[in-house]
């Protein structure tokens, strides 16, 4: 019922065609004769009457159709203020409703004094009834309509972004995303270790002391600057010296760290450092370069021997199970190892992740490109559909006119069909 | 009616309906065109026959077959009249066309000149001074004197009447279709001049009922003093023989 408002006031006439056999017998008889038998003059009158009957029913039909078509056109054109302003059309409606419903009108009741005012009177009467009719139709339907139709529109609007066609812009966005980011390289850099913090702190502490000393002496801040710089260099030299003092074997001793550790562990006192007689007999057989003990300090140390000694000691220790065969970066490198290990772990993760992301983006891009191609094809299918429909309509029109469709039309139809099929095949394949 | 209406609310069906209406309209127009052509042909044939008849009559005035014709013609005359009334062409206008003058109750235009062979109602003065409206046929029209020469259709042997235009009322040349042009019909209680059945004279009458279908007759009440209420019972008169009465009340 709410759709009544959408509907123009159409009357769906049931046009009963004039039954020729019953109403126009002479006409039917004449028609069934062949061309050779003529029509007798005496038959003219009856024929005339019958033809007039047919003509009048046909024109009534014509008027009704015209009126309905006009209603449809007018209603489609002006959707807004409908029927209340349709008084201009009402004369048509009134006139034709007169035509189509003669029994309802009392022709006697018109009381026209001539053809002029005659049509005027019934028109006004009909306008009244028509307007009233429409008023009753329109009002109750207006109100429930408004909230009802909103939901589907909102739903479709919300779904729209997901179902819409892919545009070139979106592909461009994807391509941009795929471009390798410039700052990726940074993440993979393993920064240099830089100065060990103990050295740095030592340096800083020394600097501080120097500064304080200088301040104590001079109390001139401006002199601290160059002094401190100078001191920094001195401090470095100092620190290096102190380092070398603290770990003399590193500089002075060519022996590998393992060797030194071993010896240190075996030696009770540092004083007896050169005496390596006691441990060495344990491993004399392996050691060719035993003679490289610091006893013979005068001898130049042959570095390869120390290296092989170191390697052999390590091997032995590993085979004894005393030493793990894993790498050691350095004494103080344990902590750094962790950080470095962590850093490396993270870097590996980042690499894996970025690789994964890239592969997914590329996949997406490929899919998008494929979809675009399919869209194009679909568009072509739509065009081909329209062509097929056109051809169909043309053939139907030809058939309606009772003539067979021309070869041209048939060819067009076939061509359109084949085109459409080929595009569909492309689409599927 | 719910389904057709809901169907018609969608644009697709609306357009389809419009297309169908247009097609049906074209078909109806074609049909009307053909029927009109057929009717025109018939009218043509009839006019040819009419011409021949007039020509024969012209020639036949001088023949001496008059007397036998006079007596024999009564029944024949009535049949002829009836036939002529029946075969009066029905006016079926195209949409938008209004009925022309001399269709049904629509009077002739003021400068209309009846043609030869047209039937008219003529007010003639009888020998005894009585004026009567008779059914007559136009013979000729004299433009200079503005007078018609008419022949009584009943007795052609009688003299031709020469009458001024005011005494001549041309009879309708088309029937009005009550279904399409009811305004071209006389309405109830209108004063008209109607041919009394089985006579060839017009008398004043009041319309009782106008015709419902194209082939129907008017039902009229003739002024008749011999009846109690002054009017005869309703009698049928064909559209062709009913004309407007301009006369003022009784002479």
Distance (Å) from the C-alpha of residue A422 to the closest C-alpha of chain B? 29
Chain A neighbors of B182, CB-CB under 8 A:
98, 102, 105, 107, 110, 118
Q: How far is CA B65 from CA A218, A231, B68, B156, B158, in A?
A: 173, 168, 6, 11, 14
Interface test with A, best of B28, B87, B184, B220 (most A CBs within 10 A): B28
- CB neighbours of A145 closer than 8 A, spacing ≥ 6? A2, A5
- Say which of B24, B86, B92 has its CB closest to residue A59: B92
Q: Rounded to the nearest 5°, which phi and psi values hold at B91? A: -85, 115
- Say which of B14, B31, B46 has its CB closest to residue A58: B31
More confident residue, A375 or B8: A375
Distance (Å) from the C-alpha of residue A115 to the closest C-alpha of chain B? 5
> Do residues B219 and B236 touch, judged by C-beta distance below 8 A?
yes
- Say which of A12, A54, A62 has its CB closest to residue B95: A62
What interface predicted TM-score (ipTM) does this complex get? 0.74
> Do residues A59 and B94 touch, judged by C-beta distance below 8 A?
yes
pLDDT in tens, A155-208: 989 998 888 888 888 888 888 888 766 667 777 777 777 778 888 888 899 999
- Report the Cα–Cα distance between both ends of chain A, in Å, rounded: 48
pLDDT in tens, B54-98: 787 777 665 544 444 444 467 888 888 888 888 888 888 777 778
How many A/B residue pairs have CB atoms within 8 Å? Answer: 131
Cβ of A52 within 8 Å of Cβ of B31? The answer is no
> Do residues B221 and B208 touch, judged by C-beta distance below 8 A?
yes
Q: Which of A259, A257, A258, A279 is nearest to A268 (CA)?
A: A279
Buried b (16+ CB within 10 A) or exposed e, B179-215: bbbbbbbbbbebebbbbbbeebbbbbbbbbbbbeebe
Chain B neighbors of A45, CB-CB under 8 A:
83, 86-87
CA–CA gap between residue A199 and residue A156 (Å, rounded): 70
Chain A neighbors of B109, CB-CB under 8 A:
none
Q: Does residue B168 sit in helix, strand or coil?
A: strand
What is the average pLDDT score of chain A? 70
CA–CA gap between residue B193 and residue B242 (Å, rounded): 6
pLDDT in tens, B168-212: 889 998 888 888 888 888 888 889 999 998 888 899 999 999 888
Q: Which of B74, B53, B78 is nearest to B195 (CA)?
A: B78
The runs of H, that is alpha helices, within chain B are: 2-8, 11-60, 66-86
Q: What pLDDT was estimated at residue B220?
A: 92
Q: Which of B168, B88, B108 is nearest to B136 (CA)?
A: B168
Is the pTM for the entire model greater than 0.90? Answer: no
Q: What pLDDT was estimated at residue B219?
A: 92
> Do residues B194 and B220 touch, judged by C-beta distance below 8 A?
yes
DSSP calls for A86-118: GGGTHHHHHHHHHHH-TTTS-SGGG--SSTTHH
Cβ of A58 within 8 Å of Cβ of B28? The answer is yes
CA–CA gap between residue A15 and residue A65 (Å, rounded): 10
- Say which of B6, B32, B188 has its CB closest to residue A62: B32
Do the strands B90-91 and B175-176 form a parallel or antiparallel pair, or are they unpaired? parallel
């Amino acid at each position: 019922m709410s759709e009544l408002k959408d509907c123009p006031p159409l009357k769906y006439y049931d046009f009963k065609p004039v039954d020729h056999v019953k109403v126009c017998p002479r006409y039917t008889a004449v028609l069934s004769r062949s061309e050779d038998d003529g029509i007798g003059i005496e038959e003219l009158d009856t024929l005339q009457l019958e033809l007039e009957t047919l003509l009048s029913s046909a024109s009534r039909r014509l008027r009704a159709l015209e009126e309905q078509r006009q209603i449809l056109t007018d209603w489609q054109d002006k959707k807004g203020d409908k029927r209340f302003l349709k008084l201009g059309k009402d004369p048509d409606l009134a006139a034709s409703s007169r035509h189509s419903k003669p029994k309802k009108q009392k022709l006697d009741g018109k009381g026209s004094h001539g053809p002029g005012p005659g049509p005027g009177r019934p028109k006004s009467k009909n306008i009244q009834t028509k307007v009233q009719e429409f008023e009753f139709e329109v009002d109750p339907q207006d109100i429930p309509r408004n909230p009802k139709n909103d939901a589907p529109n909102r739903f479709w609007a919300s779904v729209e972004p997901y179902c819409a066609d892919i545009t070139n812009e979106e592909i461009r966005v994807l391509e941009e995303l795929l471009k390798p980011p410039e700052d990726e390289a940074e993440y993979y850099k393993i920064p240099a270790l830089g100065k060990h913090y103990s050295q740095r702190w030592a340096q800083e502490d020394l600097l501080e002391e120097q500064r304080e000393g200088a301040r104590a002496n001079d109390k001139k801040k401006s002199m601290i600057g160059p002094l401190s710089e100078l001191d920094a260099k001195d401090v470095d030299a100092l620190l290096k010296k102190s380092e070398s003092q603290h770990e003399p074997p590193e500089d002075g001793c060519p022996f590998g760290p393992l060797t030194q550790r071993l010896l240190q562990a075996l030696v009770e006192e540092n004083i007896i450092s050169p005496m390596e007689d006691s441990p060495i007999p344990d491993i004399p057989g392996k050691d060719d370069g035993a003679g490289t003990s610091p006893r013979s300090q005068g001898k130049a140390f042959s570095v390869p021997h120390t290296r092989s000694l170191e390697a052999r000691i390590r091997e032995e220790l590993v085979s004894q199970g005393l030493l793990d065969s894993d790498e050691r970066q350095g004494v103080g490198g344990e902590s750094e190892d962790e950080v470095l290990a962590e850093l490396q772990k993270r870097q590996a993760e980042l690499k894996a992740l970025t690789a994964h992301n890239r592969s997914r983006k590329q996949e997406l891009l490929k899919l998008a490109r494929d979809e675009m191609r399919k869209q194009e094809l679909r568009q072509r299918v739509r065009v081909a559909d329209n062509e097929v429909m056109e051809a169909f309509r043309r053939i139907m029109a030809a058939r309606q006119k009772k003539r067979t469709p021309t070869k041209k039309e048939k060819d067009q139809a076939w061509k359109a069909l084949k085109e459409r099929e080929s595009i569909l095949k492309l689409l599927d394949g | 009616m719910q389904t057709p209406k809901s169907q018609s609310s969608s644009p697709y069906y609306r357009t389809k309906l419009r297309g169908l209406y247009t097609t049906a309209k074209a078909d109806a127009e074609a049909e009307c065109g053909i029927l009109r052509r057929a009717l025109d042909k018939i009218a043509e044939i009839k006019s040819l026959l009419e011409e021949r008849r007039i020509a024969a009559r012209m020639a036949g005035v001088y023949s001496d077959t008059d007397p036998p014709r006079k007596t024999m013609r009564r029944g024949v005359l009535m049949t002829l009249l009836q036939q002529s009334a029946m075969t009066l062409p029905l006016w079926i206008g195209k949409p938008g066309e209004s009925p022309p003058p001399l269709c049904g109750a629509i009077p002739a235009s003021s400068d209309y000149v009846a043609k030869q062979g047209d039937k008219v109602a003529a007010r003639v003065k009888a020998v005894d001074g009585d004026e009567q409206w008779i059914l007559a046929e136009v013979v000729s029209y004299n433009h200079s004197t503005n007078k018609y020469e008419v022949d009584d259709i009943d007795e052609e042997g009688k003299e031709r009447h020469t009458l001024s235009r005011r005494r001549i009322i041309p009879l309708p040349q088309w029937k009005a279709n009550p279904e399409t042009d009811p305004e071209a019909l006389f309405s109830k209680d209108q004063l008209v001049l109607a041919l009394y059945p089985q006579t060839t004279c017009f008398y004043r009458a009041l319309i009782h009922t106008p015709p419902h279908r194209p082939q129907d007759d008017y039902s009229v009440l003739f002024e008749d003093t011999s009846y109690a209420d002054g009017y005869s019972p309703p009698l049928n008169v064909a559209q062709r023989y009913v004309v407007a009465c301009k006369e003022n009340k009784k002479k």
